Structure 1
């Protein structure tokens, strides 16, 4: 699963013409865009559970909506990924996605109707679906120079600075206003506007990031709009190793609760006040960034076998996070943050190494769709089992993660055996 790749042994010199950013500055500036956007949507996500509960939602509704939101952010990439590859308009898709996210969050603070809030939560996630395959493809070109694991890890670390700042800002406003969600969410419009300005500037500065990577291209693969048959054909051409890897990821995500359900438990069980939940979420984002950097560097050195830590960490989350003791529950949320950091960085780096540039946005779209279906199932499953039996929730999660671990270990062994026979 980790053979000869652009991150291993190729020239580290960027191919951009003079006057454009070299690879590392591009990664950093792109990370700053993501950081500002994260202030917006992670600030909102940090209080999604308590906000929906305030509007009358049950644990099951919170689990379903947050799960469907994650599915929207992921499954829709099955369409947006091939569209990005076919049109070659990676920057246009990236910018459009950021616009959708930025305009979806502030109105959350103004609504008092549950279904409207649910629609906005899902809408924000749709924005991520629109931009992410194109964005990951643009980033992957620069990461060919910096090293796949390192490039994605640094981007994720910067991303998580926003995921720290957003929840803390929301927590501060909630504390100052007596848990008034309106002002807390409206303040997120400012970093959203800054993110849009910066991503447009970056697009002007580096119009063709594919030039970082030898052999890559931003030219459309065929026409402007792919037909369903074209999308299906592109998906069918993805290699078998990719599908096994996607299967492992889907299994581990099915046994991974959303933060909406975790935060619902923290408030409902009386472990934390609503204003403290974003602070804990911010702490989880710090752990997320640390895990992303650590596993990203380890991935470049040791390959995909570092991913064995993901199902192991995920298996511990429900046993800890759904505890009736505040200290244990807090540790569980921090472990959840570590698992999330691995998902958001190293899992993506592996996809880039499995797929050549011409089909990479399609692969990211398919991969995200698999993860999205699993996330939706996992959110609904966690919400239902939480209301049924927490011990059963723990047992089911551990079982799923053990199966996922078995699939990964088997796949890694087959990959090693394949390399020996070459």
Structure 2
């Protein structure tokens, strides 16, 4: 399908599905530029206003809980109102408006409120955004479409923190200009969204004109398909065994395998691997179907096996494997949801899926962190066992909805 080939209707002459995916990915690139730039200095910023470590932990934790938990509300709201563009724009607006003020409020409680507000914006927009993107990827290929979006997203996640760091260096640590400059890409986010909405008011037309294996009819009782719940179980299991980069970097520094200054460089390298893995598995997903998700439990077990060694090269390799697993989590996992759930319930499914991922991430962080302090060999064994369970649940998912995609 050429770049100008879209679904039926007036959108066909206006914008093809691949152009829509790329422009929407550019929106995410710019938005990540803004909020990842701010998140890279949230801790030091709050500390400069008098926050203790406890306050920083509570505020950032509350923000992440809001970013995931509130999607249980925003997802069904999007499906019920069908105002996908409105919710997406409102969520992005809240995020890009919150960030520039962080550097100038000068009061701890206000800064804390803005940190949480930025994450609330993500919760408002994400189910609607993923649903809009899922319509276009029905024509481009789910895996490739979500992968290109994720790759563009990661470019912003790299540039934003680097710009903030440069501005802090130039201004002697003044957060006002460092975060104020992020207002420019924030304005660009909103301009692009309004333009994109005017060009493609009904992205679902892409999906109506595409021939895919996506279920098109909503179950008569309004429930989500059983395959979705099996898939959510698989995702919960594989995420529960997934160590955080915070724990990986803690190991590297505490075992004196790497100087603290090199940790951001390793993280940046992991983000590059993230983007490459997303593109590779996205292409493979469109070619071979959900069987490619077998790679995720394997990589998750590999992170535990490699990253917690006392050999620098092997531990670094484990961190890069972590980046590859993240790439699959952020792209192909989301693509599969769209192939399991009909359009009328998809935003609800994305909201519930985010809740599952959030709860599993919390459990995984606690599990791997606790086991790390007790016994690393036991940590590796437990993670491997959980990934075996995840593989079994993936098999259940494929049996419940086979084939999800035509190989």
TM-score range, shorter chain: 0.7 to 0.9
Cα contact 1:251–1:403 (8 A) shared by 2: yes
Q: Deviation of residue 376 (structure 1)?
A: 2.5
Asked if 1 retains the 8 angstrom alpha-carbon contact of 2:398 and 2:404, the reply is: no
Moved more, 167-176 or 244-253: 167-176
Work out which of the residue numbers 194, 205, 211 in structure 2 matches 1:200: 194
Deviates more, 1:98-107 or 1:142-151: 98-107
Change (3 A) 1:68 1:367: same
- Say if 2:7 is the partner of 1:14: yes
Q: Does 1:400 align with 2:400?
A: no
**Quick one: structure 1 residues 215 and 61, their matched pair in 2 at CA, closer, same or farther if it must change by over 3 Å?**
same
Inter-CA distance 287–417: structure 2 relative to 1 (3 Å threshold): closer
Higher relative contact order (CA 8 A, sep 6+): 1
Match of 2:240 in 1: 254
Distance 1:41 1:140 in 2: 23
- Quote how far apart the aligned CAs of 1:140 are: 1.3
How many residues get paired?
391
Whole-Å separation in 2 of the counterparts to 1:321 and 1:356: 39
Query: 3-state SS of the aligned residue for 1:27?
Result: helix
Deviation of 1:198 (Å)? 1.4
The residue aligned with 1:134 is 128
Q: Which residue of 2 aligns with 1:220?
A: none
In structure 2, the partner of 1:169 is 163
Contact map agreement 2:340 2:404 (CA 8 A) in 1? no
Deviation at 1:365, TM superposition (A): 1.3
1:157 aligns with 2:169: no
Q: Give the CA deviation at 1:370.
A: 1.2
Shifted more, 18-27 versus 394-403: the winner is 394-403
Instruction: Specify whether residues 13 and 110 from structure 1 end up closer, same or farther in structure 2 by C-alpha distance, changes over 3 A only.
Output: closer
Does 2:140 correspond to 1:146? yes
Matched, 1:308 2:301: no
TM-score between the two structures when normalised by the length of structure 2: 0.81
1:1-150 maps to which residues of 2 (within 5 A)?
Answer: 13-17=6-10, 20-46=14-40, 56-57=52-53, 62=57, 69-107=63-101, 109=103, 120-150=114-144
Query: What is the alpha-carbon root mean square deviation over aligned residues?
Result: 3.7
Distance 1:117 1:315 in 2: 38
2-structure distance, mates of 1:49, 1:403 = 36
1:214 maps to what in 2?
A: 208
For residue 118 of structure 1, report the CA deviation from its aligned partner.
6.2
Q: Cα 1:418–1:263, aligned 2, differ >3 Å: closer, same or farther?
A: closer
The answer to whether the Cα contact below 8 Å between 2:43 and 2:56 also exists between their aligned partners in 1 is no
Distance change (3 Å), C-alpha of 1:332 and 1:324: same
C-alpha distance 180-392 of structure 1, shift in aligned 2 (>3 A): farther
Distance, in Å, in 1 between the alignment partners of 2:292 and 2:70 is 28
How far apart are 1:188 and its partner, in Å?
A: 2.9
Task: In structure 2, list runs of 5 or more residues that go unmatched.
Answer: 211-218
Once the 2 structures are TM-superposed, how far is the Cα of residue 209 of structure 1 from its aligned partner? 1.4
Confirm or deny: 8 A CA contact 1:24 1:146 kept in the other structure.
yes
Normalising to structure 1: TM-score of the pair?
Answer: 0.79
Aligned to 1:344: 330
Measure, in 2, the Cα distance between the counterparts of 1:200 and 1:367. 27
2-side partners of 1:262 and 1:186: how far apart? 32
Alignment pair present for 1:376 and 2:376 = no
Contact 1:49/1:264 (<8 A) preserved = no
Task: Check whether the contact 2:6–2:209 (CA below 8 A) recurs between aligned residues.
Answer: no
Provide the C-alpha distance between the structure 2 equivalents of 1:182 and 1:386, rounded to a whole number of angstroms.
Answer: 39
Cα displacement (A) at 1:100: 2.2
Shift of 1:153: 1.4
The 10-residue stretch of structure 1 (242-251 or 14-23) with the greater mean CA deviation from structure 2: 14-23
From 268, 273, 276, give the equivalent of 1:290: 276
CA 1:281–1:99: 2 relative to 1, 3 Å: farther
Compute the displacement of 1:335 (Å): 1.7
> Is 1:271–1:325's contact at 8 Å kept on the other side of the alignment?
yes
The equivalent of 2:303 in structure 1 is 317
Q: Which residue is 1:330 aligned to?
A: 316
For 2:214, the equivalent position in structure 1 comes to none
Report the Cα offset of residue 402 of structure 1: 2.8
Match of 1:102, SS state, is: helix
User: Contact 1:321 / 1:333 at 8 angstroms: preserved in 2?
Assistant: yes
Tell me the residue number matched to 2:341: 355
